[in-house]
Amino acid sequence: MKINCLSCGHTIDLDDAYSDYEGQVKCYTCSALLEIKLEDFCIKAVRFVKTTRGAAE
Ligand SMILES: [Zn+2]
């Protein structure tokens, strides 16, 4: 399944292991950190945690 990054809008590909998942995923494109909640392949919540783009770390 796919979700859209809230920071850059790029599609993030999630494999079937994420069918029931609550936690953080990282956007490959902009390195933003998203907190997601998935139930039965449905997106229940997507929250932007932070972006690491341009950060000192
Ligand atoms: Zn992104």
- CA 33–ligand 1 middle distance (angstroms): 8
- CA 42–ligand 1 middle distance (angstroms): 20
pLDDT at 22: 96
pLDDT at 54: 61
> 17 lies in a domain?
yes
- CA 50–ligand 1 middle distance (angstroms): 10
Closest residue by Cα to residue 13 from 25, 23, 3: 3
> 56 lies in a domain?
no
> 29 lies in a domain?
yes
Closest residue by Cα to residue 29 from 12, 47, 48: 12
pLDDT at 50: 87
| Domain interval for residue 32 | 2-50
Q: What is the pTM of this model?
A: 0.80
Q: What are 1-56's pLDDT values in tens digits?
A: 899 999 999 999 999 999 999 999 999 999 999 999 999 989 999 999 988 766 55
Please state the domain count of the chain: 1
> 45 lies in a domain?
yes
pLDDT at 52: 72
